[in-house]
Structure 1
Amino acid sequence: MSQHRILTQQETGSGTRFEVYEIAHLTRVLERRGGDYELVQAYTPAGRRQVKISLEGGGALLEPGALQYAHGNLRVAVQQQEQGGFLARAVRSAGTGESAFATRYEGYGEVWTEPTAKHFLIASMEGPGDALLLDDRAFYACESSIQLKTHTHRSVSGVLSGNGLVQPRLEGRGVFVVESPVPAEEVEAVEIGGGRELIVDGDLLLMYSASLQVELRPLVRGLRNAARSGEGLVYVLRGEGVAWLTPTARGLFSSP
């Protein structure tokens, strides 16, 4: 037997509610109480999480393929993201980033997503000038009041990197959900400003303010120096804004 335990939730002004649940399995263990042993039931986390979206007349966008089931009086449609030109569409159709489409749910009911070992972060944008760029694997869901677009980095280094040539862009006001390799408490927010810049491996960059200027390039200029540095292409962010990093994610994928 299993149950869902809520980890975090946030409700929007339109009554739409986003909730993140953790799946836990029921286990039975013997515990000594006094001179006797008693069979005690406990729930153990299964290491999988899923998102529940409750709609009360509002709408939400969901990453294609994420649906487990939905019920209620719902209208479902496929919505194409606003594109950054032919190159963006071509790259997405090649499967190197997010889909060029999202599934739109409107009406009254519940939408449950597929369980996954990854983590979810729920956040909000204040709009109307608020905008974020996400890692090309991070977008998961958002309130329909948010505009979901794509942003194309037009630099030679960006084209070669494969790490964000085209990225999801969120604009406006509302609640959104991103998929993260690490839990929320391990995500680090780095403020950029005052003439300082941030240099980071793109694999650790979860999202950042769209107001930042971004360059994708080798860590060290010149082919010989780049080879000696042992680093590939990195993101260099300048201007005023915030970048959210997942510095502990590297250990999840490295060999012991």
Structure 2
Amino acid sequence: MTFVINNLLDNSNTVIKEKLGSFTVLEYIKDLSTTSVTDATAQYYMSHSNMHRKQLMIELNNSEIMMKAGAMQYTVGRMEMTTGIKDAGGAVRSFFGGAASGTGAIKPLYKGTGTILLEPTYKYIWLIDVDNDEVVIEDGLFLACETSLRIGVTARSNLSSAVLGGEGLFNMSASGKGVIALEAPIPSEEAVVVELQNDELKVDGNFAMMWSNSLNFTVERSGKTRLGSAASGEGLVNVYRGTGMVWLAPLAAYS
């Protein structure tokens, strides 16, 4: 590389929270760009509530990544950006696939050698190593991934999950081997991961953020009868059956 980025990694206000593959999560200890007493007061309480700006840095070395549309802040180096769409048919498939899963129609590909910085966020950035597996991801969490992963759209097993549970019919899925970055509503330290072995998990609410595609997902009454469901006070619950894993955000229901 023939470039140097100064005052980023060598900045005393910046810490590296996590690094996996070509992805690095940066966190800013304080927001030094406040310009008013009101902003300064808000920043003080935010910093004491674990609310720090985070930024995803991606380093390419003759490699390629896929990214959420509009997420790029700046790039340095010799890279080319493409849509990954080769014809009109691909554009139509991408549009409907993105609309169905709520992830955006076109996800740009960046290929070459250099460094990419994404827009800062107050949400939490997760780095997930998908190791010859397939995971289903809740709408809106996708940030970026290595193109060794296959990104697709997974349909729900039946209509009940959409009609009864207020969920969409489709979700984004990632399969194969590679790293994916997600923008989550909670820190990874707060996530509860349930491992099922031919068993079932019932969740009252939409706070399952990610799950193995091997699981069968439905929405059902919490009791065997309508009266039983009403008596329990739960009504409808999301049910995951089979063998696999479910990532839950128990302290911040995902919406």
Tell me whether the two structures share a fold, i.e. TM-score over 0.5.
yes
Residue among 239, 250, 253 paired with 1:247: 250
Query: Structure 1 residue 148 and structure 2 residue 175: aligned?
Result: no
**Distance in 2 (alpha carbons) for counterparts of 1:125 and 1:181:** 20
Against the structure 1 CA distance between its residues 228 and 91, is the aligned structure 2 distance closer, same or farther, given a 3 Å change threshold?
A: farther
Structure 2 unaligned residues grouped into runs of 5+: 1-10, 33-46, 86-91
Unaligned segments of structure 1, at least 5 residues: 12-16, 28-43, 81-85
* Residue number in structure 1 paired with 2:17: 7
Does structure 1 retain, via aligned residues, the 8 Å contact 2:129–2:178?
yes
Partner residue in 2 for 1:189: 193
Instruction: Name the CA distance, whole Å, in 1 between partners of 2:111 and 2:102.
Output: 26
Alignment size in residue pairs: 222
Q: CA deviation at 1:222?
A: 5.7
Give the residue type in structure 2 aligned to 1:47.
Answer: H
| Counterpart Cα distance in 2 of 1:91 and 1:226 | 35
Partner residue of 1:93? 99
The reply on whether 1:210 has 2:224 as its aligned counterpart is: no
Comparing 238-247 with 220-229, greater Cα deviation is found at: 220-229
Q: Deviations over 1:121-163 (max 9, x none)?
A: 1121222xx1111111222111011000011114222222333
Counterparts of residues 110-149 of structure 1 (less than 5 Å) = 110-127=115-132, 130-149=133-152
Pair 1:64 & 2:69 matched: yes
Alignment of 1:66-85 (within 5 A): 66-79=71-84
- Matched with 2:222 is 219
Closer/same/farther in 2, CA of residues 69 and 230 from structure 1, 3 Å limit: farther
Q: Deviations over 1:77-131 (max 9, x none)?
A: 1236xxxxx999658538x72113212111011111111111011121222xx11
Q: What code does the residue aligned with 1:212 have?
A: L
Matches within 5 A, 1:165-184: 165-184=169-188
Counterpart-to-counterpart distance in 1, 2:93 and 2:114: 37
Q: Distance in 1 between matches of 2:224 and 2:68?
A: 37
Q: For 1:247, what is the secondary structure of its paired residue?
A: coil
| SS state at 1:102 partner | coil
Equivalent residue in structure 2 for 1:25, among 27, 30, 40: 30
The two structures have a TM-score, normalised by structure 1, of 0.76
Q: Which amino acid aligns with 1:61?
A: M
1:193-245 Cα shifts (integer Å, max 9, x gaps): 1x421011452111111111111234346666555554464321111111111
Sequence identity, in percent?
Answer: 31
Let me know the Cα RMSD of the aligned residues: 2.9
Structure 2 CA distance for partners of 1:116 and 1:2, relative to 1, 3 Å: farther
Alignment of 1:152-167 (within 5 A): 152-160=155-163, 161-167=165-171
Structure number with the higher strand fraction is 1
State the distance in 2 between where 1:162 and 1:88 align.
24
Q: Is the 8 A contact 1:76 1:105 kept in 2?
A: yes
- Relative to structure 1, the CA distance from residue 202 to residue 53 in structure 2 (aligned partners, 3 Å threshold; closer, same or farther) is farther
CA change 1:120–1:26 in 2 (3 A) is closer
Amino acid at match of 1:99: G
Q: 1:173 to 1:230 in 2, by over 3 A?
A: same
Give the aligned residue type for 1:156.
Answer: L
